[in-house]
A and B are shown apart, each in its own frame.
Chain A
């Protein structure tokens, strides 16, 4: 074909992505969406005083947000020091993870993705175990007996149908416990996401599905991922409620999730919650986002920092002073350093441990392979 005479608009539409620009325009419009649930605006002002959680909840959320952020920030340093393996940072998404997980109790199930360290810490996963996990130590695979947090899911979206099963099992056992599963905007393209929403609706499973729309699936922006612009509306197709919430407003994520958890406990079935947030950090500490996004894109989001937003709110409301915050931060730092020491004390695994925990009773083949490893160790 002949080249266009006028200068192409940006980004250039190619023959193969017809409709791309229309989709992008629709996406941009959705970013102006005022239909999202928001309680505190980015400047700390209260926009929905009727929905404000109780003061002690607001303070508890702030503490958990700070714990999560401290982990994320120290994690970067530890990675650079070679004291942590490759891990996916979540800084900037604390409200999306903490506000949602905080709506659960220890009797409920949490199915996190690899990026949901903040959610797992909030429900009670010990910091030392979490550090061990991201150190690739089997000690990070020892889950506390009083907690139903599943290991961080590496495959995308597979945890969604599993959460449906756990939720159904709780209902069969006659409890009021619920299952909460996380996913990203990229994961919502997977078949398992759709199958799970359909199953949960059809079987009335007490499930809460969190869809963290953080704008990116590694290098692919949401607008390239899907033409859909309001991912919460995907719930409509399955006959279940969908809620869109400002994912950087911890009070809002807590409020809508607590409502969904209550609904599930009452036997009224599943909810899909889209938390609109942003992945400020790279995909993993080993990722270079400069290949696919501009620095300029980050500017608006820094101003929406979920931790600073809640901080401003608490100071404005007089629920926290700079002095009480300083105490809190010192306490959190001390807790982390103690956990780091504990993680440092975990011994390295021995070679034969590779074969542990495959079956309740090792098969003859596993016994033979263990003997082989032990024999090779002797040499």
Chain B
């Protein structure tokens, strides 16, 4: 997947002179995950550049660049390092169009690797997407496949509004597939049906899609048809696709690796409860992380991060109700 992201950034830089990529270690080094590998050599130090180490200023500077007509793509090295920039994000990133009545808009992309499953140190595995989804005026995109990563990233870059683009660290090198060449786009706001089934809908995104897929395969051998819905974008959320699936199956499991309380899984669950309760044959079950900091303890990391066994258990639970 990291190669697909690199490809998308390469295409964007090549197509549009205003595109600028910056952050910590994105230049000479090509990023700690190599997402920007080779881009500085190809496009120069003015367009792909390393910044001093300060997340608030990286985002704040990006805001100014965007207001002044450039297309900034900022990299925050890990989503768990977004926190120093939250003032810039919550106070400003989503507000410029609104507070200037569209005189200014912010065509900015902020990329951040997120999530667990690869035994990173403390704070490197956080999933703060709900904080962003709760912030008016910003879009939130989380791909789960290389082709989607490329297609959604190019759409995010073309979007006139600010987009947070979370990349599951677990998927960077673990998933491989053929990726369409050239300017491949996947529209924001359209979910993807990963598997089709009539019994249970599993709603998920990013790093949880492959976990849900494995659980769905296990369920299929037990004769349960599982429809895995990959949201792809949290904002805007494709409510229509989710509700259509729920109307068909009547049973819902929502999976994220974020902490439980106040997570985006709660938004998905509430939307289904409000819009489709008459179709539900069982209470919605959420499979999530816990209300504790993500544990950097290799031996028990999987207790926190949902795995196929936990998702399969939830599928059985909604079937048995």
Where the two chains meet, the residues of A that have a C-beta atom closer than 8 Å to any C-beta of B are 109, 138, 141-143, 145, 150-151, 154-155, 158, 160-170, 172-173, 179, 191-192, 195-196, 198-199, 202-203, 356-360, 363-365
Interchain Cβ contacts within 8 Å, total number: 143
Residue of B64, B68, B72, B98 touching A358 (CB-CB under 8 A): B98
Residues of B within 8 A of A155 (CB): 87, 91-92
| B281 proximal to A (CB < 8 A) | no
The proximity string for B residues 222-251 relative to A, scoring 1 for CB distances below 8 Å and 0 otherwise, is 000000000000011101100000000000
Residue of B60, B92, B102, B236 touching A365 (CB-CB under 8 A): B236
12 extra interface residue pairs, beta carbon distance < 8 Å, beyond A142-B100, A155-B92, A162-B64: A109-B68, A164-B61, A165-B63, A165-B64, A169-B65, A172-B20, A357-B102, A359-B97, A359-B137, A363-B236, A364-B237, A365-B239
A195 and B97 contacting across the interface, CB-CB below 8 Å: no
- Pick 25 A–B contacts, CB within 8 A, sort by A: A138-B101, A141-B98, A142-B103, A151-B100, A158-B88, A160-B60, A161-B57, A161-B60, A162-B64, A164-B61, A165-B60, A165-B64, A165-B67, A166-B64, A169-B65, A170-B68, A172-B20, A192-B60, A195-B54, A203-B51, A357-B102, A358-B97, A359-B139, A360-B160, A364-B189
CA distance A143 to B20 in the complex (A): 26
| B52 proximal to A (CB < 8 A) | yes
| B178 proximal to A (CB < 8 A) | no
B68 and A169 contacting across the interface, CB-CB below 8 Å: yes
B57 and A192 contacting across the interface, CB-CB below 8 Å: yes
Distance in Å from the Cβ of A275 to the closest Cβ of chain B? Answer: 22
CA distance A166 to B84 in the complex (A): 21
B70 and A196 contacting across the interface, CB-CB below 8 Å: no
B100 and A163 contacting across the interface, CB-CB below 8 Å: no
CA distance A235 to B20 in the complex (A): 28
Chain B: CB-nearest residue to A359? B161
B92 and A158 contacting across the interface, CB-CB below 8 Å: yes
Residue of B61, B94, B136, B237 touching A168 (CB-CB under 8 A): B61
Residues of A within 8 A of B180 (CB): none
B52 and A166 contacting across the interface, CB-CB below 8 Å: no
Residue of A158, A165, A168, A364 touching B87 (CB-CB under 8 A): A158
The proximity string for B residues 99-137 relative to A, scoring 1 for CB distances below 8 Å and 0 otherwise, is 111111100000000000000000000000000000011
Residues of A within 8 A of B177 (CB): none
Q: Given A162-B67, A192-B56 in contact, is the A172-B100 Cβ separation under 8 Å?
A: no
Chain B: CB-nearest residue to A171? B46
Where the two chains meet, the residues of B that have a C-beta atom closer than 8 Å to any C-beta of A are 20, 46, 49, 51-52, 54, 56-57, 59-70, 72, 84, 87-88, 91-92, 94, 97-105, 136-137, 139, 159-161, 189, 235-237, 239-240
Distance in Å from the Cβ of A146 to the closest Cβ of chain B? Answer: 11
Residue of B46, B52, B94 touching A198 (CB-CB under 8 A): B52
Distance in Å from the Cβ of A197 to the closest Cβ of chain B? Answer: 10
Chain B: CB-nearest residue to A198? B52
B189 and A199 contacting across the interface, CB-CB below 8 Å: no
Distance in Å from the Cβ of A272 to the closest Cβ of chain B? Answer: 15
CA distance A199 to B52 in the complex (A): 7
Distance in Å from the Cβ of A269 to the closest Cβ of chain B? Answer: 15
B54 and A198 contacting across the interface, CB-CB below 8 Å: yes
Q: Given A155-B91, A191-B56 in contact, is the A166-B67 Cβ separation under 8 Å?
A: yes
A199 and B61 contacting across the interface, CB-CB below 8 Å: yes
B100 and A173 contacting across the interface, CB-CB below 8 Å: no
Distance in Å from the Cβ of A113 to the closest Cβ of chain B? Answer: 13
B61 and A165 contacting across the interface, CB-CB below 8 Å: yes
Chain B: CB-nearest residue to A170? B68
A165 and B98 contacting across the interface, CB-CB below 8 Å: no
CA distance A150 to B63 in the complex (A): 12
Q: Given A162-B61, A359-B161 in contact, is the A199-B51 Cβ separation under 8 Å?
A: yes
Distance in Å from the Cβ of B119 to the closest Cβ of chain A? Answer: 31
B61 and A172 contacting across the interface, CB-CB below 8 Å: no
B60 and A158 contacting across the interface, CB-CB below 8 Å: yes
CA distance A173 to B65 in the complex (A): 11
CA distance A143 to B104 in the complex (A): 9
Residues of A within 8 A of B102 (CB): 357, 360
Residues of A within 8 A of B103 (CB): 142-143, 145
Chain B: CB-nearest residue to A196? B57
CA distance A138 to B101 in the complex (A): 8
